[in-house]
Every structure is written in C-alpha cells, then in structure tokens.
Structure 1
C-alpha cells in the first residue's frame, strides 16, 4: 500500500465518523450549545421584541376597532385601496382576531425573515471569513456537521418564535387555537429564510454579500406578497379577499394562507418546510463540492495596484460598502416609482368614488401625518417606507464598522498614521453619503414616474420634500448606533437591527392602530418633519441635534477603549 493511500484512508474515516455514533452526537450537541450561547442575547432581543409587538398590536386593535362595524369599514377601505393591501396583508373576515392577523402578520414575518437570514449567515459564511470554520473543520466535527448544528439551531429558534408569537396573541385575548396557527405561520417563514441564508452563504464569497442579498430577498418576498394581495379578488360581503397568484411565490404569502382565525389550515406549513428542506439539501450538496472559504460565485481578481483614493480610511470605507449602498438605493428607487405612479391613481380613485374618502384619514395616519392634497399625503406616506430603507443603509454602515473591528482588519488600518477618531468619522461620513443617495434615488424615481403618469412638474418637488423629511430620521439611527458601537461594541448589530424594526413599525404603522402617543414617539419615524400642509420641521431639528451630539460623543469616547476583536 502506498504512503498516499495509507494517509487517505484514515482521513476518509475521520470525516465520516462524526455522522454516526455517540462521538458524532456529542460533537453535534457541543456545536449546538455553542450557537445557543453565542446568540443568547441577540435571540432574546429579537424574540422578545417580536412577541411584544404581536401582543401590543392586538391590544391596540382591540381598543381602536372594538366593534364589528368599524372593523368591516376598515377592511372595505383596505380592499378598495390596493396600496393599503400592499403594505398590510390579506383581509379574512371581521372578527377581532382575523383583523389583528391582517394588520400585523406580514410585518412579523418580515422581521422573522431578517432575523433568520442574519442567523444563518452568521454561523456559516461569517465563520469561514473569520477562519473559525477551518479550525472547527480540523476537529471531528468535519465540514458538514457545523451546518447541521446551524439548521437545528434555526429550527429551535423558530419554534421559540412561533410559541412567543402565539402566547403574545393569547395574552391579548385572541383564541388559542388560531394563535398557535399564527405562530406556526410566522415560525415557518423563519425556517424558510434560515434555508435561504444558508444557501446564499454557499453562493456568495463574503458575509456582507450574503447578508445583503438575503435581506433583499426577504424584502422581495414581502413586496411580491403585497402585489398578490393588491391584485386579489374580494369575496362574500367584501371583507374577505382571495390572493392573486403572485402571493403564492412568497413564503410570507404562504403564511397568510393559514387563515388562522377562520379556517385554521395548517397545510401551508408543509410548503414552507418542504421548500426549506429542498434549499438545505442544495446547501449540503454545494458545501460538499466547494473549497472552504470560497463561494460558488468567485470573487473577481482585484487590481494589481490599489487606486490612490484607497490610501485613506474614507476610500476604504466606500470601497467596502458601495455594493450594499447601491442595493439600498435601488430599493429606494423602486419604492419611489411606486409612490409616484400610484399617487395619481389613489387620488383619482377617491375622486371618482366619494365613498372612499375616509381612506384619506388612513393615509394621513401613516408616518408623520399632516393635511393637504391627497397626492402629497400619499407620497409622504410611501416615503416613510423609503425612510426605513435609508435608516437601514445607515445601520449597515455602522454594522460594517463593527465587522471590520471584530475581524481584526481595523487593527491593521490603525497601525498606520490613521487615528481612531478619523477612522470612525470617515465611516460615519460614508453612512451620511449613503443615506442621501438612497433618498435622492427615491425622490428622482418618484418625480419621474409621476410625470410619466400625467402629473405636473410640481410632483418632483413634492417628492424631494418628502425625501428630505426622512433625512433626520436616518441620521439619528446613524449617530446613535455609532455611539452604541463605541460604548458597547458587541451590542451594535442586534441593537441596530432590532431598534430599526421596532421603530419602523411603531412610528409608521402605530397611527393606523392608534398606539398611545408616548409609545409612538419612542420611534424617530413618528417625529419625522411634517411636510404636507402646515410644514413643521421641529422634529427634524431635534433629530439633527441628537445625531450630531451622538457622533461627537462617540468620537470623544473611542479614544478611551480598546479594540474589541472577535
């Protein structure tokens, strides 16, 4: 027997050993415990936030729409206005529980998707980038067992998510049976996106690319579901809707088909789990055939010599983030097109049907409100969603700052004559530029689509004014999260995404369900400047001030702490 054959045989046996026997079971349990321990605080923040959101939304809807007549009016207005369906969900009857599910489920599913894609990438592609996956692969765990542990970790996290959502609804007085079905619909979406995140971790060569692509797919699933709901067919007494075919292309749309408080069908869970199983099988197939650290889509070869503008941290920060910034800007442009094209449609629809005039109140209660021409109100309401995209871009900039520090690459930059303060501030500056680009892209797209729909040139100005109202909101997220990064670096990522998700729901949609003002104003989105009718920039000035003070404090404090690597 040759020496090569002698060395190959034990290696093959070594790789196969973890798959069976008590040794493999112990290794799997150790890997699962490691993931649970590592994510304990992030998961607690996500799960508690989503559960509280479910319970509080149900309680607020009970207070606002306490009788069947008001709930029926709400659903008829929603069915008459496709834009509301795009943002909300699928009407399924006038019971208190059914209206609660209509109002809140799609947003819970959106948060579940983001939570799970980040979880999957964190324990797969990010581990390969840091080198930890290679170290674990040299142990009896091999290459595949860590992925098995991540799948189990994701399933357990989503079982907990489903239970917490169900208990939140039950605590608010919703029927237990339907609440557990609603929890399963939410957890099923989460498991689907665990599989999506794991697959993208195999395809993309960086965690940044995998996270960005995965988040885009979550948002796409939300939008595709919304299009299917908006194109649906009313049935019965006009308070039920059968979704059109696009909803069946989205895992979030599958979750709506549970109809937990009417028919309580559990069979859509099979769609979610079956789709996840297929993606996980493809993931294992790809992982078995690629090199550790490499992606299915290889990184393209870099230049032999760096460009001159990469000599400083500002150029480096832009180089690291520009693909993500472009992605958020494209999302802003698509949302702007929706605002400009549908604004005229909504206005003309209400003009032709006086019975829909109450929809003006519903639109005004999205975002900062105000009073004025309906088209301006609608554009302002949709630009609240653009504000979420801009704030997400700001959060992403600070998250990248934390990732650079954790990976140790920031340490190499700081060994040069670059100071910590300059390093921090130039990443923040890129974040400011990114926010402005997202808002400008949305404003241009909105104005041009309004012109194409037959509106006059004044709609371009309205779009830019609506975009400017979202600038201070995004800057608050940028500045305050930069301060969190300096004070508690390990909390940067969970705090950034959790506060953005909660802030977006409370600030934008809280008015639709009559959340108490003290709670709504915990969100920067609720205090965005009013730029329709009586213009009021008071909230904007306060937020600009808070952002500047937070960045100044971060710059002063970063001198006093060590780099937090790992």
Structure 2
C-alpha cells in the first residue's frame, strides 16, 4: 500500500456526499457571469451609452470596492462588476469543501475509522483537493462558455474562466495547509477566511494607492489577468507557483502529525476549572472569544479602508442618468457619497452576518461532536445552553457592526474634517443592518431545532442574500424576489430617512424563528448526527 491508496474511492465518496452542494455552487457561479453580460448588453446597447458611464466606474471609491475597469466594453464592464464577487465566492466554495473533507472528517472521527482500512496517508487530502479542483475547473469552463455564448470575445471569456478557476484552486491549497496546522475545522476555516479577507483589503488599498499591494493579493491577480482588456496570461503563473507552494506545505505537514491532531498541539488545560468557568454562559464565552476577536479586528480594518475610500465619491462632478442608476442600485438616491456609504455598510452587514451564522451554528458543532451530552447531563437545560451561544451570535454581531461603523466614521470624517459628525452617522448606518443579521440567526436556530441535519442551509440563505442584493437589480428580478432577503428592507442610511417599521418587522421575524427553533430543540432527540 502506498500513501495515495484509496484516493479514487475517497474522491467518489466526496462527490457523492457533495453532489447537491457542489452542483448548486457550480451552477450559480457559472450562470452569474453570463447573466451579468446578457443584462449589460440590454442596459448599454451602444458605445455612446457605455462612454456615459465610464467616468463613474473609474472613480477611486468604486475602484476600491470592485477593482479597476481595464476596458470600456461590455466584456470589461462584466469583468469589473462580477469579478471580485465571483472570486470571493469561488474561494469560499473551495475553502469549505477542502476543510469539510479533511479536518472535519478527522474531528468527527470518521477519517480515523476509514484509516483503519486500506487508505493511504495522503489519500484524504488528495481526494479533497482533486474534488475541489474538478469543481473549480468545471466552473471556469462553464463560465467561459457562457460568456462566449452571450457574444463576448472568446479570449476574454477564457481569461475570466481561467482566473476564476485559479483563484478557487489557490484557496483550496491554502485551506489544505491550514487544515494541517490546526486541530479543528472551525480554526482552519477561520485561518483561510482571514487570508481571503486580507487579500481583499490588500487589493482595495493597492488599486487606489500603492499598486504593489495589489500584487500581494490573489484577488488582485485574478483581476489583473485582465479579461477583455488585453489579457495577461502570464499572471496564471503566480497562481500556479503559490498554489503549488501551499499544496506542498499541506502534504509536508500532513506527514508530520497524528491523525486527529494539528501541527500546533493544543495546550493541556488546568486540573480544575477557573472560578469564572462555572456556567454554560462562561463556557460559551470561552468557545467564542477567539472567533469574535478575529472578526472584530477584520471588521475594524474593513470599515476603516472603505470609510477612507468614500471621500473620493465627492470628486464626481458630472453625474448622469447612468451614474444615478448605478448608485441607486448600490444604496439610495440621497447623494452620491451617502449612496456609496449606504452600499458599503449594506455589504458590511452581510459580511457581519457570516459571523452571525458561524456563531449560531456552533450549537450544531457542539452537538455533532458529542460534547453537549456531557453538559446537558448536569443541571444545564437545553434552552439555557443554546441561549449562551446565541447571546454571542446576536450581541457579537452588534459589536462587529459598531466597530465597523466607528472605524468607518473616523476614517471618512478625517478625510473631510468632520470626525465627530460622521462617526454618529456611519455608526447608525452600520447598526441598522443588525435586525437583518438577526433574521439569519433566527433561521439558523429554527433549522437547528426543527431540522438539524439541514442546519447548513443557513449558509445557503446568506449566499442567496448576497447574490440577490448585489445582482438582483441588474438581472431585473421581480420585486417579490428582491424582498425575500432581509437586507432589502433595511433603511439605506445615511442617505435615506430612518423608518422604524421595517426594523421592528425584521426583529419580530428573527424572534419568531428563534422561538420556534428553541421550542423544537426542547422536544427533539439529542444528539442528531
């Protein structure tokens, strides 16, 4: 038996387990670019209309958000609009797939059971990378074919598909290495997610400031393949070399650790628990504090970067109807700067919602790992146990949005000389997103209580919110579908007037979903694996 024995069998098993999940990812990420191009052909049928909007898209603030526009054409506009979103989503798909079939399998003990059969040391990691790479290549090929089918040049379409596949493959390699370093799937996902967030910020700063920072970011590399704008095929070499380095590191680390353990050994705990660890709430704090700290630092950096970039919107001196339409889709009609800020904090709210979902689903992780049984054998009840985690999902999100709003207000206020006035305005724009994130927490709780095996659908709901919010107006979706996402009902502060009614409705929906979930949690069997 060699180290790769059983790779084919494990790859087939992974494809079987992820047949629905990966199919949804592949179809969604393949159709998005094609749909965007088709709609731009309708929105801008003539070169004159394209030229009218060109001044908007080259504004530094929008460049920080979506990257540079390399060519004034339907293809260039499509790559500008969908490129960053496509790259982030394909990176998330790759990260989650690799971690699920490596570290998660070890953490649950299933991989150790498989390892007792004829399975080589490197077979699980190889199978995870093969499946993820296959998914990325499929997305790239289908995206290229779809863009070509809309009438865009074949070379640019292939470049876009190639960039998408390479971004996903690179982050699969990063996840493979992270899964060897840590002892938990949550930590591996957190490390890879931090790398993804950092690369986005590096690109945003590099595209509007020191350009060398962009070349430290794989997302920046993907944009600088320059689909439809004088393709740079040599940039693919950066992806291949970096992915090979992370993959090599992953295999090297996998051969130097025990199954079920990470390269960084967990510290042994004290013989007796500290006095402050005598309640279920204290235990929840112990489990959530690292995650909350990491997200807090990330949201602070994001708020500061995007708040600082917002000042550039005021430089737009020749607004036109196309500009009004673009900014209206982004966040309102009460002024270009306020519309941009509304868009920024709408996106920030959805980013913070990722923490909300992650913290809520910690309940499911504790249940499936078997640790909750020992806790519930004490005087701690189910609702009390769940409430300890939900406090951090709800109030932790409030902390994240507060930090983002304050950081954005300071950065933007410093640019225009009004720190005191802007901190309050942007803090309000951030916190008004809170009820929408709570709806996702309520949905996650309802799934945990009523259908625990489907709890991962909370992530699907968040991704659907992102896609509908970002692309719904462009695709001309029906208003009823746009209204499905809770973020569609959030007041578009600071540009629009604040209305309390939608905030109250969103909060009521979140409470109702959470109550249903807790009621189901009290009555169902535990654990459900």
1:467 maps to which of 401, 413, 430: 430
Does the alignment pair 1:250 with 2:220? no
2:274 maps to which of 288, 307, 316: 307
Matches within 5 A, 1:290-439: 290-347=257-314, 349-350=315-316, 354-355=317-318, 361=324, 364-365=327-328, 367-372=330-335, 374-439=336-401
Shift of 1:498: 3.0
User: Secondary structure of 1:402's partner?
Assistant: helix
Check whether the contact 2:205–2:305 (CA below 8 A) recurs between aligned residues: no
User: Secondary structure of 1:306's partner?
Assistant: coil
1:142 matched to which residue of 2? 120
Does the alignment pair 1:477 with 2:440? yes
Q: Distance in 2 between matches of 1:63 and 1:357?
A: 18
Does the alignment pair 1:42 with 2:9? no
User: Secondary structure of 1:267's partner?
Assistant: helix
Paired residues, number? 527
Could you state the TM-score of these two structures normalised by the residue count of structure 2? 0.91
Between stretches 334-343 and 433-442, larger displacement belongs to 334-343
Does the alignment pair 1:222 with 2:200? yes
Q: Distance in 2 between matches of 1:248 and 1:68?
A: 32
2:452 maps to which of 457, 480, 489: 489
Check whether the contact 1:49–1:502 (CA below 8 A) recurs between aligned residues: no
Unaligned runs of at least 5 residues, structure 1 = 1-16, 233-243
Matches within 5 A, 1:35-184: 35-79=14-58, 81-170=59-148, 172-184=150-162
Shift of 1:515: 5.2
Check whether the contact 2:331–2:340 (CA below 8 A) recurs between aligned residues: no
Check whether the contact 2:37–2:147 (CA below 8 A) recurs between aligned residues: yes
1:201 matched to which residue of 2? 179
User: Secondary structure of 1:522's partner?
Assistant: coil
Check whether the contact 1:336–1:446 (CA below 8 A) recurs between aligned residues: yes
Q: Distance in 1 between matches of 2:40 and 2:499?
A: 29
1:562 maps to which of 503, 521, 525: 525
Q: Distance in 1 between matches of 2:504 and 2:146?
A: 37
Between stretches 412-421 and 327-336, larger displacement belongs to 412-421
Q: Deviations over 1:331-381 (max 9, x none)?
A: 22112213443344433x34xxx2357797367425542415x55444333
Q: Residue 100 and residue 512 in structure 1: after superposition, are their counterparts in 2 closer, same or farther (change >3 A)?
A: same
Check whether the contact 1:344–1:455 (CA below 8 A) recurs between aligned residues: no
Shift of 1:182: 1.8
Shift of 1:151: 1.7
Shift of 1:309: 4.3
Q: Which runs of 4+ in 1 moved over 4 A?
A: 170-173, 356-360, 508-516
Check whether the contact 1:363–1:381 (CA below 8 A) recurs between aligned residues: no
Shift of 1:547: 0.7
Q: Distance in 2 between matches of 1:304 and 1:362?
A: 63
Q: Deviations over 1:64-83 (max 9, x none)?
A: 2332223233332221x212
Between stretches 135-144 and 207-216, larger displacement belongs to 135-144
Q: Deviations over 1:245-300 (max 9, x none)?
A: 32222222222233333444443333222321121111111221223333233323
Q: Distance in 1 between matches of 2:385 and 2:43?
A: 49
Q: Distance in 1 between matches of 2:35 and 2:484?
A: 15
1:527 matched to which residue of 2? 489
Q: Distance in 1 between matches of 2:42 and 2:370?
A: 51
Check whether the contact 1:331–1:389 (CA below 8 A) recurs between aligned residues: no
Shift of 1:114: 0.9
Check whether the contact 1:507–1:521 (CA below 8 A) recurs between aligned residues: no
Q: Distance in 1 between matches of 2:61 and 2:193?
A: 22
User: Secondary structure of 2:259's partner?
Assistant: coil
User: Secondary structure of 1:120's partner?
Assistant: helix
Q: Distance in 1 between matches of 2:350 and 2:407?
A: 17
Q: Distance in 2 between matches of 1:41 and 1:295?
A: 30
Between stretches 402-411 and 102-111, larger displacement belongs to 402-411
1:235 matched to which residue of 2? none
Shift of 1:468: 2.0
Shift of 1:196: 0.2
Shift of 1:541: 2.3
2:2 matched to which residue of 1? 18
1:192 maps to which of 151, 170, 192: 170
Unaligned runs of at least 5 residues, structure 2 = none
Q: Residue 339 and residue 96 in structure 1: after superposition, are their counterparts in 2 closer, same or farther (change >3 A)?
A: closer
Q: Distance in 2 between matches of 1:188 and 1:123?
A: 20
Pairwise CA RMSD: 2.6
Q: Deviations over 1:158-195 (max 9, x none)?
A: 12222332344345444455333322211111110110
